[in-house]
Amino acid sequence: MNNKREFDSSVTKQIDAWKKKFPKEKPESSIIMSLRFIQDHYGWLSDKHLDMLADYLDLAPIRVYEVASFYSMYHRKPVGKYVLGICGSISCMLRGSEPLLHHLETKLDIKLGDTTKDGLFTLKEVECLASCTKAPAMVVNGTQYVEDLTPESLDKLVDNLRQGEQL
């Protein structure tokens, strides 16, 4: 009967702290960040996670699904350890982001949107990162910027990460 799963306490602690930023009677305000805490902890957002969050915040599940499917930083499928998001918007495009993307596809031997077999990398194209003056730019795992990219700097980054170095 009791098959209700619960979040790791480190996650609920984060959610509870974030909830304090909003009026008490507005638990839905914390959906957006809670989903990120969950994603950061579990790697991606499964349907089960969404239901659990709805339950935790005492909201209708559809309210959580709506948000989770709207914002682009959420992973609704399992992803690699490093999600490489190359910016494809105009300033980066003018500085050659497209050939860079192809370079990465070859280097990682995957297509855009896919994850390498070793589960290390997922390749994504993202929209403008506000790094326009340091184009082409990329964001790793959503928040770590790598800028002024060249094929060489990308190769080095990938190789380093493959060898287990930190970003």
Partner 1 sequence: MSRIEEKITLFIDDQRIECTPGTTIIEAADSVGIYIPRFCYHEKLSVVASCRMCLVEVEKAPKTLPACATPVANDMHVYTRSQKARQSQKAVMEFLLINHPLDCPICDQGGECELQDIAMGYGEGVSKFTKDKRVVYDENLGPLVATDMTRCIHCTRCVRFGTEIAGIEELGALKRGNHMNIGTYLKKGLKSELSGNVIDICPVGALTSKPYRFHGRSWGFSQHVSVSPHDCVGSNTYIHSINNGNNLDIMRVVPRKNDNVNETWLSDRDRFSYEGIQHKKRLTRPLVKKNGQWKEVSWAHVVSYIADCLKQVTDSKGGQKIAALAHPSSTCEEFYLLQKLFRQLGSNNLDFRLKESDFKDQYQINYTTNLSGSFEDIEQSRCITLIGANTRNDQPMLNHRIRKAVLSGADCIRIDSHMSPMNFKTTYDFLTPHDEWSSNLAQLLHAVLNIKKQPVPKSIQPHKPTDDITKLAKTICKHKSGYIFVGKHVMHHENASSMRAIIQAIAKETNHTITFVSEGANTIGGAKMGMLPYLGETIGLDKEAIFKKPMSILWLHQLDPEHDMTHYAEIKNKLEKSFVISCNAYDSDELRSYADVIIPACTFAEMSGTFINLLGQQQRFHAALPPLGDSKAGWKIIAAIAQTMQLNSFNYPHSQAVVDEFNGNHFDFNYQENVLPETIANGNGHHSWVSFDHPFNVDAITRHAKALQEVAKDDDWTVRINSRVAKYYGINHDGAATLRFEAKNTKVFVVIDELVADKTIIVGKEVATLLPKNCKIELESNHDK
Partner 2 sequence: MKQNLVCYRTFEEKSPSSFETYKKFNGYTTWEKLLKGKMKPSEVIDAIKAAGLMGRGGAGFPTGLKMSFINRDKEGQKYLVCNSDESEPGTSKDRFIMQKNPHQLIEGMAIAAYTMGATVGYNYMRGEFMKEFESCEKALKEAKKAGLIGKNILGTGINFELINIIGAGAYIVGEETAMLESIEGKRAMPRFKPPFPANYGLYGKPTTVNNTESLASIPVILDKGAEWFKKLGTEKSGGTKIFSVSGHVAKPGVFEIPMGTPFKDLLELAGGMLDNRGCKAVIPGGSSMKIVPGKTMLKAEMSYEGMQSVGSAIGSGGVIVMDDRTCMVEALACVIKFYEDESCGQCTPCREGTNWLHQNLRDIIAGKGKIKDVDLLVEIAGKIEGKTICAFGEAVAWPVQSFIEHFRDEFEFYCKNGYSKVKGK
Residues of the shown chain interacting with partner 2 in the complex, contacts defined by CB under 8 A: 21-23, 26-33, 35-36, 63, 66-67, 70-74, 88-91, 93-95, 126-135, 139, 142-145
Q: Is 47 in the site for partner 1 (CB under 8 A)?
A: yes
Report the C-alpha gap between 26 and 51 in whole angstroms: 18
State the binding partner of 153 from partner 1, partner 2, none, CB within 5 to 8 A by kind: none
Rank residues 18 and 65 by Cβ distance to partner 1 and give the closer one: 65
DSSP for 87-156, written as a single string: E-SHHHHHTTHHHHHHHHHHHHT--TT-B-TTS-EEEEEE---S-GGG-S-EEETTTEEE-S--HHHHHH
Contacting range for partner 1; rule: CB under 8 A; set: 59-67, 101-109, 119-127, 153-161: 59-67
Q: Is 66 in the site for partner 1 (CB under 8 A)?
A: yes
Rank residues 67 and 108 by Cβ distance to partner 1 and give the closer one: 67
* 110 contacts 123 by C-beta, under 8 angstroms: yes
* 45 contacts 35 by C-beta, under 8 angstroms: yes
* 77 contacts 115 by C-beta, under 8 angstroms: no
Nearest in space to 138 (alpha carbons), one of 94, 100, 99 = 100
Q: Which of 29, 36, 42, 63 binds partner 1 (CB under 8 A)?
A: 63
Report the C-alpha gap between 104 and 86 in whole angstroms: 10
State the binding partner of 32 from partner 1, partner 2, none, CB within 5 to 8 A by kind: partner 2
Residues contacting 40, CB < 8 A, separation 6+: none
State the binding partner of 44 from partner 1, partner 2, none, CB within 5 to 8 A by kind: none
Q: Closest distance between partner 2 and the C-beta of residue 26, in Å?
A: 7
Name the residues that contact partner 1, by CB under 8 A: 1, 47, 51, 60-63, 65-66, 69-70
